[in-house]
């Protein structure tokens, strides 16, 4: 009765269906292995926690944080972007702290679009993108991400009369684990500038990369008409702390600050201090965490290939995106798999129509658990 049209337009989530299947598996006494949620199981760096602990004893952190209070985190974010990607931003006008990238994206869409504007959205994609688009009342045009194109969108196929307000990209990608080159971002930014489109790049997996591969930033294509969303949830295992930052086009960042000013007061100052400290840690701290996910990737991939499942080798992210031979209904398969084996994965369809036929594994368990989970899934009929 009280739901607005806006609230009712937010799509429901397949994840609640999976949650119910998980409960039924537990009810049957099965040992549940949950690989359905990309929440890091690793410990944040201890010095980051020390920073937060100290802040909780500092009464100066107890009040509402104002914009001026966010300066140390904005400076740390700008210094990180300069060190890591060679991009120079004005920390006063081109950087803004977020309560996570997801919050930032939903408010950014509200800040830079009007209802009925067109959003170009990859299919498959991180499911909350659909909800954020619905809240902002946007007309969504999807861009298929296909395995034969390395899960990169083909912008040349967007009809010339489509003038999107925003193009949303995310590499390293959830759910496909695909990566994009600096050259790809340069081309995408040029395409956007030509059409009067804002390029929004969601970049929470920036440091979760394997081997010698290092992910580029879309900001390397220039700040004008580009906004990038960063998060400490994956890179520093701080998902529960809810902190990230937006960086890029000063006009878009100012619009975001204006909308957020009506809604929140920035993250708690202690969390801002912890995040600023985390962003200044030596790169090697992040590399250690990434190597753990890399080892898990190797274990899972070899077990999946033994089953005859097709999966490209991810060079980044915390997922494996596997095409299951003969699979036509990934939701039914994932529910059955959870109920019969206790192994919970995400059905590809939850990420969009183009995800059908796939399942997504989050690499949030040790290698031996992943191997065991894959073996159990091999016994579930498609
Ligand atoms: C693509 C993508 N964007 C954003 C998020 C959420 O980031 P945050 O925790 O900073 O809100 C996730 C989490 O899984 C994600 O996969």
- Give the closest residue to 51 by CA, choosing from 231, 270, 286: 270
Cα 259 to middle of ligand 1, angstroms: 20
Mean pLDDT lowest among 18-22, 141-145, 248-252, 290-294 = 18-22
pLDDT at 335: 95
Across residues 96-119, what is the average pLDDT? Answer: 98
Cα 206 to middle of ligand 1, angstroms: 11
Residues forming a β-bridge with 119: 140, 166
Question: Is 330 a pocket residue for ligand 1 (Cβ < 6 Å)?
Answer: no
Tokens of 354: 């183009």
Question: Is 101 a pocket residue for ligand 1 (Cβ < 6 Å)?
Answer: yes
| Cα-based torsion angle of the residue sequence 231, 237, 239, 242 in order, rounded to the nearest 10 degrees | -60
Cα 303 to middle of ligand 1, angstroms: 27
pLDDT digits (tens, 9 = 90+) for 183-208: 999 999 999 999 999 999 999 999 99
pLDDT at 381: 87
pLDDT at 134: 98
Which ligand 1 atom sits nearest the alpha carbon of residue 233? 9
Which ligand 1 atom sits nearest the alpha carbon of residue 173? 1
Question: Is 239 a pocket residue for ligand 1 (Cβ < 6 Å)?
Answer: yes
**Boundaries of every domain in the chain:** 5-43+285-377, 46-283
Contact 215, 171 (CB under 8 A): yes
pLDDT at 310: 87
Ligand 1: residue of 102, 246, 314 to mutate (most ligand atoms within 8 A of CB) is 102
Question: Is 365 a pocket residue for ligand 1 (Cβ < 6 Å)?
Answer: no
Cα 207 to middle of ligand 1, angstroms: 13
Cα 102 to middle of ligand 1, angstroms: 6
- CB count within 10 Å of CB 369 equals 16
pLDDT at 215: 98
Cα 164 to middle of ligand 1, angstroms: 23
pLDDT over threshold 90, residue 376: yes
Question: Is 172 a pocket residue for ligand 1 (Cβ < 6 Å)?
Answer: no
pLDDT band at 300; cut points 50, 70, 90: very high
Cα 334 to middle of ligand 1, angstroms: 22
pLDDT band at 221; cut points 50, 70, 90: very high
Which ligand 1 atom sits nearest the alpha carbon of residue 232? 10
Q: Where are the alpha helices (DSSP H) in the chain?
A: 5-8, 14-27, 46-56, 71-85, 101-112, 128-135, 182-195, 250-261, 269-279, 283-306, 330-341, 367-377
Which ligand 1 atom sits nearest the alpha carbon of residue 231? 10
pLDDT band at 15; cut points 50, 70, 90: confident
Which ligand 1 atom sits nearest the alpha carbon of residue 98? 10
State how far the Cα of 219 lies from the Cα of 223, in Å rounded to an integer.
Answer: 6
* CATH fold for domain 46-283: 3.40.640
Q: What is the chain's Cα-based Rg? A: 21
Ligand 1: residue of 202, 241, 275, 318 to mutate (most ligand atoms within 8 A of CB) is 202
Across residues 261-265, what is the average pLDDT? Answer: 95
In sequence order, the 6+-apart residues with CB closer than 8 A to the CB of 340 are 379, 380
State how far the Cα of 100 lies from the Cα of 365, in Å rounded to an integer.
Answer: 23
Domains 5-43+285-377 and 46-283 belong to one CATH topology: no
* CATH fold for domain 5-43+285-377: 3.90.1150
């Amino acid at each position: 009765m009280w739901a607005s049209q806006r609230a009712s337009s937010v799509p429901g989530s397949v994840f609640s269906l999976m949650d119910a299947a998980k409960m039924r598996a537990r009810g049957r006494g099965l040992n549940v292995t949950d690989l359905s949620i990309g929440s890091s199981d690793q410990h944040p760096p201890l010095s980051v926690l020390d920073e937060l602990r100290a802040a909780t004893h500092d009464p100066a952190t107890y009040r509402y944080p104002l914009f001026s209070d966010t300066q140390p985190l904005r400076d740390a974010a700008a210094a990180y972007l300069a060190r890591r990607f060679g991009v120079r931003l004005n920390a006063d006008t081109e950087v803004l702290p977020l309560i996570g990238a997801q919050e930032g994206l939903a408010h950014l869409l509200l800040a830079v679009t009007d209802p009925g504007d067109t959003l170009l959205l990859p299919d498959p994609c991180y499911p909350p993108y659909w909800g954020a688009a619905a809240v902002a009342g946007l007309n969504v045009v999807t861009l298929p991400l296909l395995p034969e194109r390395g899960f990169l969108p083909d912008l040349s196929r967007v009809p010339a009369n489509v003038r999107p307000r925003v193009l949303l990209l995310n590499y390293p990608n959830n759910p496909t684990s695909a990566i994009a080159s600096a050259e790809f971002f340069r081309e995408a930014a040029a395409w956007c500038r030509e059409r009067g489109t804002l390029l929004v790049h969601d970049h929470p997996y920036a440091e979760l990369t394997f081997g010698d591969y290092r992910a580029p930033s879309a900001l390397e294509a220039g700040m004008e008409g580009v906004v990038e969303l960063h998060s400490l949830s994956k890179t520093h295992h701080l998902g529960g702390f809810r902190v990230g930052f937006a960086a890029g086009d000063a006009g878009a960042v100012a619009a975001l600050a204006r909308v957020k000013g009506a809604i929140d007061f920035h993250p708690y100052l202690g969390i801002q201090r912890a995040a600023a400290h985390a962003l200044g840690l030596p790169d090697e701290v992040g590399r250690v965490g990434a190597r753990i996910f890399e080892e898990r990737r190797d274990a899972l991939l070899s077990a999946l290939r033994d089953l005859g499942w097709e999966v490209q080798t991810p060079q980044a992210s915390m997922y494996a995106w596997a095409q299951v031979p003969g699979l036509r209904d990934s939701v039914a398969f994932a529910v059955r798999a959870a109920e019969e084996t206790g192994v919970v994965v995400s059905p590809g369809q939850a990420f969009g129509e183009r995800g059908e036929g796939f399942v997504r594994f989050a690499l949030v368990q040790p290698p031996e658990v992943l191997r065991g989970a894959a073996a159990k899934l091999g016994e579930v009929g498609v």
